[in-house]
Amino acid sequence: MHLPFWISTTLLAPLLVWQGQRTRRTTPRLPEAHGDPHGQYGDGEPAWQLLVLGESTAAGVGVTHHQDGLASQLARQLHQQSQRTIGWRSHGINGIRLQALLDHLKTIQLAPADAILLSMGVNDTTGLTPRRRYRQQLLALGAQLPGPLFLLSVPPMHRFTALPTPLRQLLGWRARQLDAIQRKLAAEQPDDFIYLGYPAMTDPTLLAEDGYHPGITGYQAMATALAPALTARLQTAK
């Protein structure tokens, strides 16, 4: 148990509940992206297939079409850097937590991929998933999927402009705790997990109208930051 966090949360609970309810009422509810959640850049058979899996970021919330989402923009960057044909696919569910994702994946068959990127943590942050349980669920997911599993950093929620103070700071604190679990897991088990971080979106213009999710330029910034390390890893693996 992370005692300082829980003491702060308990003491501020009435205010945090009120702020959370008010934020849900006043923040625009953006839909998941439309269109085909898959495609490719380049001609012929893809040399690499990418899959972005997880919550709202994988579902393309913040943009209208999947073509503008993270998987597509990342595949475009990899195609430009490697001059290879890159296939991409998104499989995300807005609002899902890690345990629910595990249960969901037991009911479907994912398409083969050379790199699976997991974008999770926001809903487990707001849902206060215990840190030990979050780690156990990551291990279960890693055992369920062909590895290594690329863990995208948990978004820094203390920078989400849609959230008021002190709710924003408390959720940011919790998000950093879950992100630390991902970093540690990748350090301990490098053959099974690879941590991929990207700079925080300090520029509000990178966010969608809800001040919560990336917009087109936000997903582009994420892809630009992630592409070099991912390209290097895939080239080494091949």
Question: With 0-12 CB in 10 A as exposed, 13-18 as middle and 19+ as buried, what is 13?
Answer: exposed
Q: Say whether pLDDT at 17 is over 70.
A: no
Strand runs labelled E in 130-173: 149-152
Q: Which of 225, 223, 224, 205 is nearest to 215 (CA)?
A: 205
Ramachandran angles phi, psi of 36, nearest 5°: -65, 130
**Local confidence band at 7 (pLDDT 50, 70, 90 cut-offs):** low
The reported pLDDT for the residue numbered 233 is 87
Place of tokens 């001609």: 43
* Residue 201 one-letter amino acid: M
The reported pLDDT for the residue numbered 144 is 92
Q: What is the pLDDT of residues 183-216, one digit of tens each?
A: 999 999 999 999 999 888 888 889 888 888 999 9
**In the numeric block, which tokens belong to residue 20?**
């959370």
Query: Maximum CA pair distance of the chain?
Result: 59
> Does residue 157 or residue 1 have the better pLDDT?
157
According to DSSP, the residues that pair with 88 across neighbouring strands are 39, 50
Rounded CA gap, 124 and 164, in Å?
19
The reported pLDDT for the residue numbered 210 is 85
The reported pLDDT for the residue numbered 19 is 64
The reported pLDDT for the residue numbered 197 is 92
**Local confidence band at 217 (pLDDT 50, 70, 90 cut-offs):** very high
Rounded CA gap, 162 and 4, in Å?
25
The reported pLDDT for the residue numbered 212 is 80
The reported pLDDT for the residue numbered 16 is 58
What's the CA angle centered on 101, arms 94 and 30, to 5 degrees? 0
Mean pLDDT of the chain: 89
DSSP single-letter state for residue 209: T
Measured CA to CA in angstroms, residue 234 lies from 3, 83, 154, 162, 176 at distances of 40, 13, 22, 36, 28
* CB proximity list for 14: less than 8 A, separation 6 or greater: none
Rounded CA gap, 195 and 197, in Å?
6
Average pLDDT over residues 223-234: 92
> Does residue 94 or residue 203 have the better pLDDT?
94
**Local confidence band at 236 (pLDDT 50, 70, 90 cut-offs):** confident
Q: Which of 230, 132, 150, 232 is nearest to 189 (CA)?
A: 150
What fold characterizes domain 40-237?
A: Rossmann fold (3.40.50)
The reported pLDDT for the residue numbered 238 is 56
Q: Say whether pLDDT at 26 is over 90.
A: no
Answer yes or no: are the C-beta atoms of 213 and 226 closer than 8 Å: no
The reported pLDDT for the residue numbered 128 is 85
Q: What is the pLDDT of residues 158-171, one digit of tens each?
A: 777 777 777 778 88
* Residue 111 one-letter amino acid: A
Q: Say whether pLDDT at 5 is over 70.
A: no
Rounded CA gap, 149 and 136, in Å?
15
Sign of the four-CA dihedral 154, 120, 1, 19? positive
Q: What is the pLDDT of residues 44-72, one digit of tens each?
A: 999 999 999 999 999 999 999 999 999 99
The reported pLDDT for the residue numbered 51 is 98
**Local confidence band at 174 (pLDDT 50, 70, 90 cut-offs):** confident
Q: Quick check: helix, strand or coil at residue 111?
A: coil
Average pLDDT over residues 131-135: 96
